[in-house]
Amino acid sequence: MARIIVVTSGKGGVGKTTTSASFATGLAMRGHKTAVIDFDVGLRNLDLIMGCERRVVYDFINVIQGEANLNQALIKDKQVEQLYVLAASQTRDKDALTQEGVERVLTDLGNMGFEYIVCDSPAGIETGALMAMHFADDALVVTNPEVSSVRDSDRILGMLSSKTRRAMTGAEPIKEHLLITRYNPLRVNQGQMLSLQDIQDILRIPLIGVIPESEAVLQASNQGVPAVHMEGSDVAEAYKDVIDRFMGQEKPLRFTEPPKQSLLKRLFGGR
Amino acid sequence: MPATFDIKSANLSLVALQLKSDRLKDVVAELAGEFGPKGSAPDFFDQDAVVVDFGLQPHVHSRTELQALSRALTSCRLRPVAYRQAMPQQAAVAHELGWVLADEEPQKPRAAAPAPQTVEVVREVEVVREVVQEVVREVPGPATLVLDKPLRSGQRVYARGADLLVLAMVNPGAEVAADGHIHVYAPLRGKAMAGASGNAAARIFALSMEPELVAIAGVYRTSEHALAPDVQGKPAQVRLSQDGQDKLIFEPLKA
């Protein structure tokens, strides 16, 4: 059976799709056959971030409704072996996502030998988000260091523990991982952002990583390259750490302290 | 005098469904979403009797529409038994469904609104006009509801006729309510409503008192104004003053 990971947050714009793309890519780079599915029906973004938007012929909804088979709809990534993308439909309504349909697709992917299936959840707590989390084994809860994002993540955690298959059947609960994105230690120290401790004090689930705020993410998105490919950037390193921790390795947190500034920079007021 | 029975006056507590819209379809849909079997709080009601309050709306709903509403209420574990504030034609339709006419809500001597923050549509009312003036309330028994898991934003729990004991945090946006006391052996950051059906002796205890709102027997306080420094974020209790002034008293717990 494939391990199903939902990337979710409640709030929009916190970095779910960026994380889904980098996380799935990172898993595939380590040789695991991985599929990443965009559940944001009607607002597809994942294919843009993955740089395969021109190759989308059939999408997730087509497969659910039996208009195409999985082999036709899965888009093979050009950079990483073992990585496949299932795009969302731009034109359909979110009601096209049915629980039976989603289950069938996930089972079929498992039968095709996929080890990991990453579900990129839409924002909100509507059908799409519920479908994305329903069959999950693991959840990456993406949270920004600000109050409303933490509140929404809390709401999502409540739903993970009550509205998913594992919760409803009384199976072992979904493994929850907190991923903090857009973290800027300098601004935390200045009191403009919540600190790691503040966030964990509310959410109280294990932290899997901290992704620093970085311009590399925007650059990567616009080029259609998952941020984990931005060699040498903090973001790529942080995502690789996340994968390592997901695989069970112990890794110290990085990028959570402000960079030491040189005397000259301090004198001349560089950023 | 008959030997086998007595006829006595009785009164009954019920919840009222106050219609704020004349589109019953919307009401039915919203009810199902909130309290239906697949709604967010399917166990909120426990076969409680309900009075449908039409609020003197001029719109007359057909028998089929009312039947649909009745079915929706039943699926929310409510039993529609009465109606009030209906225009005459509406009353005729409601009668056909077997609903009885309820009187206007009598002015109550004491505020005992249950859990005002929980649901807007819930209101307590006595249907049958009183002969005896005393209001008999169900006394919360020794039952206790114990929760081990954290309550997160959007989740709510109501300990009906019982105390509520929570061993994990109650986060902002979560709600706990009980007819008896509420104990939270963790930070209380959401809303807590003790004595939800009017027990003014109920109290709220928390290891770290940082609530969004606390209420006891309908008397509430929001977090708009900060609590006293010896209470905020500290082990503390909240109770209602027993001098008839109905003031919430916050006190630190001294070990």
* Residue A41, min C-alpha distance to chain B (Å): 22
Q: What percent of chain A has pLDDT over 90?
A: 86
Q: Which residue has the higher pLDDT, A163 or B140?
A: A163
How distant is the alpha carbon of residue A199 from its chain centre?
18
* Residue B154, min C-alpha distance to chain A (Å): 6
pLDDT at A250 (0 to 100): 93
pLDDT at B123 (0 to 100): 44
Q: Tokens standing for A201? A: 């004090």
Instruction: Give the pLDDT band of residue B221 (cuts 50, 70, 90).
Output: very high
Residues contacting B220, CB < 8 A, separation 6+: B116, B117, B193, B213, B214, B248
Size of interface A-B (CB pairs under 8 A): 30
Please determine, for residue B244, whether its predicted confidence score (pLDDT) is greater than 50.
yes
In this predicted model, what pLDDT tens digit does every residue of A74-124 receive, in sequence order?
999 999 999 999 999 887 777 889 999 999 999 999 999 999 999 999 999
Helix (H) or strand (E) holding B134: none
> Which chain A residue's Cα is nearest to B189?
A202
Rounded to the nearest 10 degrees, the angle between the axes of helix A16-29 and helix A234-246 is 70
Task: Give the length of chain B.
Answer: 255
Interface predicted TM-score (ipTM) of this complex, two decimals: 0.73
> Where are chain B's structural domains?
15-101, 143-252
Highest mean pLDDT among A264-268, B126-130, B165-169: B165-169
- The region of weakest confidence among A111-120, B6-15, B22-31, B158-167 is B6-15
In this predicted model, what pLDDT tens digit does every residue of A45-74 receive, in sequence order?
999 999 998 899 899 999 999 999 999 999
Mean pLDDT of A145-170: 94
- Secondary structure in 3-state letters for B33-61: HHHCCCCCCCCCCCCEEEEEECCCCCCCC
Please determine, for residue B237, whether its predicted confidence score (pLDDT) is greater than 60.
yes
- Beta-carbon count within 10 A of A116 CB: 24
- The region of weakest confidence among A90-104, B1-15, B101-115 is B101-115
pLDDT at B116 (0 to 100): 40
Q: Which residue has the higher pLDDT, A259 or A194?
A: A194
- A interface test, pick of B152, B189, B223 with most A CB neighbours within 10 Å: B152
**Coil, strand or helix: which one is B124?**
strand
Instruction: Give the pLDDT band of residue B120 (cuts 50, 70, 90).
Output: very low
pLDDT at B61 (0 to 100): 84
Please determine, for residue B55, whether its predicted confidence score (pLDDT) is greater than 60.
yes
Hunting for tokens 């606390």 — which residue is that?
Answer: B214
Mean pLDDT of A198-219: 94
Residues contacting B185, CB < 8 A, separation 6+: B165, B166, B167, B207
Please determine, for residue B114, whether its predicted confidence score (pLDDT) is greater than 50.
no
Q: Are A10 and A133 in contact (CB under 8 A)?
A: no
One of 3.30.1370.10, 3.40.640.10, 3.30.70.260, 3.40.50.970 is the CATH number of B15-101, namely 3.30.70.260
Which residues of chain A does B154 touch, with a Cβ-Cβ cutoff of 8 Å?
Answer: 125, 155, 158-159
Which residues of chain A does B152 touch, with a Cβ-Cβ cutoff of 8 Å?
Answer: 154-155, 157-158, 161
pLDDT at B106 (0 to 100): 55
The CB-based long-range contact list for A63-70 (8 Å cut-off, 24+ gap) reads A63/A101, A63/A105, A64/A96, A64/A97, A64/A98, A64/A101, A64/A102, A64/A104, A64/A105, A65/A96, A65/A101, A70/A105, A70/A108, A70/A109, A70/A112
**Per DSSP, which regions of chain B are E strands?**
13-18, 48-53, 78-84, 100-101, 124-126, 144-147, 156-159, 163-166, 175-178, 182-188, 191-194, 204-209, 213-216, 219-222, 236-240, 248-252
Residue by residue, DSSP assigns B9-31 as: ----EEEEEE---S-HHHHHHHH
Mean pLDDT of B79-94: 86
The rounded mean pLDDT for chain A is 92
Please determine, for residue A23, whether its predicted confidence score (pLDDT) is greater than 60.
yes
Mean pLDDT of A184-194: 93
Residues contacting A30, CB < 8 A, separation 6+: A243, A247
Please determine, for residue B110, whether its predicted confidence score (pLDDT) is greater than 50.
no
- The region of weakest confidence among A65-69, A95-99, A238-242, B131-135 is B131-135
CB proximity B190 to A under 8 Å = no
**Residues of B numbered 121-180 whose beta carbons fall under 8 angstroms of chain A's beta carbons: which are they?**
149-155, 169, 171-174
Sheet strand arrangement including B219-222: B156-159, B175-178, B191-194, B213-216, B219-222
Determine, for residues A159 and B154 on separate chains, whether the beta-carbon distance falls below 8 Å.
yes
Instruction: Give the pLDDT band of residue B38 (cuts 50, 70, 90).
Output: confident
Determine, for residues B152 and A204 on separate chains, whether the beta-carbon distance falls below 8 Å.
no
pLDDT at B137 (0 to 100): 55
Q: Are A167 and A173 in contact (CB under 8 A)?
A: yes
CATH class of B143-252: mainly beta
* Residue B246: C-alpha distances to residues A5, A192, B242 (Å): 51, 40, 7
Please determine, for residue B28, whether its predicted confidence score (pLDDT) is greater than 70.
yes
* Cross-strand bridge partners of residue A139: A6, A176
pLDDT at B36 (0 to 100): 85
Q: How many CA atoms does the CB half-sphere of B130 hold within 13 Å?
A: 12
Hunting for tokens 């890794």 — which residue is that?
Answer: A251
In this predicted model, what pLDDT tens digit does every residue of A8-17 receive, in sequence order?
999 999 999 9
> Which chain A residue's Cα is nearest to B154?
A155
* Residue A195, min C-alpha distance to chain B (Å): 18
pLDDT at B138 (0 to 100): 54
The rounded mean pLDDT for chain B is 82
pLDDT at B215 (0 to 100): 94
Rounded Cα distance between B238 and B204, Å, is 5
Instruction: Give the pLDDT band of residue B54 (cuts 50, 70, 90).
Output: confident
In this predicted model, what pLDDT tens digit does every residue of B177-200 receive, in sequence order?
999 999 999 999 999 999 998 899
Instruction: Give the pLDDT band of residue B130 (cuts 50, 70, 90).
Output: very low
